[in-house]
Chain A
Amino acid sequence: MEKQLIISVSREYGSAGHEIAENIAKEMKLKFYDRNMLDEIAKKKNMQIEHLKKYDEKPRNIFNSRKVGSFTNSYEQIIAEMQFDYIREKANSGESFVIVGRCSETVLKGNEALVSIFILGDKEVKLKRIMDKFNLNASDAAAKMRRHDRNRKQYHNHYSDGKWGDSRLYDMCINSSRLGIDKTTAVIRHCIEEIKTSER
């Protein structure tokens, strides 16, 4: 039986981290989880998917929510915790998969099957990618990038002891702007194969 492998991919906005993670999953024939896990959570808990998507991977708004003991009415936090439970459940079931974001490197910390990766990029390259993808001018693209990265950082740092993007938190950090999407995918795949081989 193939040994379990969980690849956690964290990424800067515009670094193509999502695309790279998807490519790795395809090439290694692994299940791929990102926002799509919300469909399954919504179905399982009989919830409206729109509610879940609205608060997905967002930091808690300190002005419109409060915590009382173990209860919070921050929907961002409730949905984040549902996703963390889902990720743990998948990991505990022995399934191999690639997961994007959702603080997964912290949620699965200590799991022997976990390989955690952080994908960053040069500002200019990321901006160009955002401008092309969303048909935006440079200032709008820069604002969008700043907003998303700020949200991801706040979201991550709320649930993790480590800082988002801090190299000490991940097994591997790579700048996708150096090699482009395909070669970065290949390098990461190579490293993962090496890790798998060395652990056998």
Chain B
Amino acid sequence: MIAQVLAVVIFATMFLLIVTEKFERHIITLSCGLLTLILVFGLAMQSTSAIIETLNLHSIIKSDFWYTSGSGGESTSGINWATIIFIFGMMVMVEGMAKAGFFRWLCMRLAKLVNYKPVPLFITFMIMSFILAMFIDSITVILFLAAVTIELAKLLKFNPVPMILSEIFCANLGGSATMCGDPPNIIIGTSFEYSFADFLTNTGVIAALSMVVIIIYFYLVFGRQMAKSSSQDIDFSSIPEPKEAITNKKDFIISSIIFGFAVVLLITHAQTGLTVAFIGTAVAVATLIAAGKYAFELLKKVDFKTLLFFIGLFAVVGGLEQTGILEKIAALIGDISGGNLKLMVAIIIWLSAIASAFVDNIPFAATMIPVIRSLAATQGVDLTTLAWALSMGTDIGGSATPIGASANVVGTSVAAKNGYFIGWGEYCKSAAPATIIVVMISMIVIFIRYC
């Protein structure tokens, strides 16, 4: 009982401190993680096995951490090292691509392809945002897209806010389509040993269907405003040529090849047996070798604070898991739903969506994973159905408000620094209905396909 109370208090304190931002979030999660190990496992439970299980270091040295025979290994708990190593690898690769000018080149190239016409540009950038976010973290996608959008808006004299809002939404939606698109999906995938193809054929289908509806939705909301933007009196010669974005042609080609290599490895990992931890390590090593003497410079740019944040977070969630708190929450959801799978899906998807609209979806997803695992075991329902509901709820719910997802924060921040202040009212007016539409579509598809 004391262990449970302590675990909940530490978890609640961690969440509160993250919201106040008084300290950096990795300091908060690492401190709370350490407190979990000492107070919950050490003093209250006096369980060395709980500490070992939560630290989960033994998983790294197992061969199936790097390579699986394809039979589907057991699901893991505690610190999810596969997620951390994979995210690290992708961070290194993305830094290499950014340094070579890949993202800016891609944006400028597509803008030129549509002759810088506002409405086609608006739709093209939404699609590009969706596709890029399937493979690359949404922060990077929005960072480059928003910056280029503002640059083009200034040159072509249109309001960039509708484009930025739609790009943010599509980046979050694209992230839900694959295992590596959004951190909750990586955590869900590595926790339950799902493959890239599992996500693509389940959440990917829902995301693609939603994307069609969302393009129509944003066109109806902003299309007229974008169409009004006149392309008269514009000096097209002042627009930079796409090739100017490339800082080094050799680096550009190599980083593009590594990116292609990563995509192929991810798509085929169920067949090859290579795990995401292996893929992350492989792309990081390839990028660092290609960077040569700049490898250290590239490594310095990696956001290690986020990786530390994950480590601490998993330890705190491990506290809730080991003390049985999450099983109680699962039992509560089971009681409310009365064993009805449709009701369970509805609760999980809407609870995840609403919570993710206001709090960071990563801690939420990490907390909910043991909950749905327990729910599936005790209620005898299909775990994958609950996992897709959790994935869509956490990935899409964050789109509703300016603070719901990292891409929203970065997009609105870049806009504000350039003089375009997007208030909560303006943001939610278009994003909240879009979120509700996609969550509804997701719920209906899950009902029809799995329930």
What chain A residues lie within 8 Å of B416 (beta carbons)? 73, 75, 78
Q: Is B195 an interface residue (CB 8 A)?
A: no
Would you call A73 and B412 a contact (CB within 8 A)?
A: yes
Given A73-B408, A73-B409, A65–B421 Cβ distance below 8 Å?
A: no
What's the minimum C-beta distance from B334 to chain A, rounded to whole angstroms? 32
Q: Which of A14-22, A44-52, A127-135, A177-185 contacts B (4 or more CB under 8 A)?
A: A44-52
A182–B403 CA distance with the chains assembled, in angstroms: 48
What's the minimum C-beta distance from A85 to chain B, rounded to whole angstroms? 11
With both beta carbons as reference points, the residue of chain A lying nearest to B403 in the complex is identified as A66
A47–B421 CA distance with the chains assembled, in angstroms: 9
What chain A residues lie within 8 Å of B306 (beta carbons)? 69
What's the minimum C-beta distance from B172 to chain A, rounded to whole angstroms? 13
Across the interface, A68 reaches (CB within 8 A) one of B410, B417, B418, B419, namely B410
What's the minimum C-beta distance from B167 to chain A, rounded to whole angstroms? 15
What's the minimum C-beta distance from A42 to chain B, rounded to whole angstroms? 8
Across the interface, A62 reaches (CB within 8 A) one of B19, B360, B402, namely B19
Could you give, for residues 402-426 of chain B, a 1 whenever the CB lies within 8 Å of some chain A CB and a 0 otherwise?
A: 1100101110111011110100100
| Contact residues of B between 106 and 137, Cβ < 8 Å to A | none
Could you give, for residues 89-121 of chain B, a 1 whenever the CB lies within 8 Å of some chain A CB and a 0 otherwise?
A: 000000000000000000000000000000000
Would you call A68 and B21 a contact (CB within 8 A)?
A: no
The total of chain B residues at the interface (CB under 8 A) is 23
What chain B residues lie within 8 Å of A4 (beta carbons)? none
Would you call B410 and A51 a contact (CB within 8 A)?
A: no
A71–B21 CA distance with the chains assembled, in angstroms: 13
What's the minimum C-beta distance from B353 to chain A, rounded to whole angstroms? 17
Would you call B412 and A62 a contact (CB within 8 A)?
A: no
Would you call A68 and B409 a contact (CB within 8 A)?
A: yes
Q: Is A167 an interface residue (CB 8 A)?
A: no
Could you give, for residues 36-77 of chain A, a 1 whenever the CB lies within 8 Å of some chain B CB and a 0 otherwise?
A: 000000000111100100000000101111111101110100
What chain B residues lie within 8 Å of A46 (beta carbons)? 419
A63–B402 CA distance with the chains assembled, in angstroms: 11
Across the interface, B406 reaches (CB within 8 A) one of A60, A68, A75, namely A68
With both beta carbons as reference points, the residue of chain B lying nearest to A60 in the complex is identified as B21
Would you call A47 and B406 a contact (CB within 8 A)?
A: no
Would you call B421 and A51 a contact (CB within 8 A)?
A: yes
Across the interface, A69 reaches (CB within 8 A) one of B303, B402, B408, B424, namely B303
What's the minimum C-beta distance from A93 to chain B, rounded to whole angstroms? 22
The chain B residues found within 8 Å of chain A, CB to CB, are: 19-21, 139, 303, 305-306, 360, 402-403, 406, 408-410, 412-414, 416-419, 421, 424
Q: What 13 additional pairs, Cβ within 8 angstroms, besides A72-B409, A73-B403, A78-B417?
A: A45-B418, A48-B421, A51-B421, A60-B21, A62-B20, A62-B21, A64-B402, A66-B402, A69-B139, A72-B413, A73-B402, A75-B416, A78-B416
The chain A residues found within 8 Å of chain B, CB to CB, are: 45-48, 51, 60, 62-69, 71-73, 75, 78
